[in-house]
Structure 1
C-alpha cells in the first residue's frame, strides 16, 4: 500500500490552483459543523467506491482524501487500494490541522 501524506500548504496550493479535489471522509454531522472550503463530503461509514470513482471521473481533478486528523483518510486509502482504486494522497493533518492554523472554513 502506498500513502502520500500531504501537508496543509500542499493542500492549499492544490485548492487554490484548482488541481485538487478534496474528499472529506468525515461523517455528515462533522462536515456540516465545518469543513475546508471546496471540499466534498464522502463519509467513510458509507464509503461507496463506485460513487467515488464516478465523482473523480466527472470532476477530473487529483483526488486527495481528508478527515479530522488523518486516520480515517488513511483507512479509506487502504480500502480503496485493496479494491483496485489507485488513490494515494491524503491530508495527513486533516481538519484539525486546518482549523488550528486559523484557516477559513465553511
Structure 2
C-alpha cells in the first residue's frame, strides 16, 4: 500500500489555493459536530468508491482523505487501492490535529 502523509500546513495551503478536495471519512455525526472548512463528508462506514471516483473526476481537485487522526483515512486508502483506485494521500493528523492547533472549525 502506498500512503502519502500530508501535514496541517500542506492541507491549509491546498485548501486556500483551491487545489485540494478534502474528503472527510468520519461518520456523519462526527462531521456534523465539527469539520475542517471546505471538507466534504464521505463516511468510511458507507464508503461508496464509485461515487467517490465520480465526485473526484467531476471536481478536478487533488483528493486528500481525512478523518479524526489518520487511521480511518489510511484504511480508506488501503481499500481504494485494493480495488484498483489510485488514491494515495491523506491528512495524517486529521481533525484532532486541526482542532488542537486552534484552526477554524465549521
Across the two proteins, how many residue pairs are aligned to each other?
A: 106
Structure 2 unmatched runs, 5+: none
Q: Are 1:80 and 2:85 matched, yes or no?
A: no
SS in 1 for 2:64: strand
Q: Which residue of 1 aligns with 2:30?
A: 30
Which 4+ runs in 1 deviate beyond 3 A? none
CA distance in 1 between counterparts of 2:69 and 2:11 reads 14
Structure 1 unmatched runs, 5+: none
TM-score by length of 1: 0.99
Q: Report deviation, 1:16.
A: 0.4
Q: Which residue of 2 aligns with 1:16?
A: 16
Q: Report deviation, 1:46.
A: 0.1
1:36-55 correspondence runs (5 A):
36-55=36-55
CA RMSD of aligned residues (A): 0.3
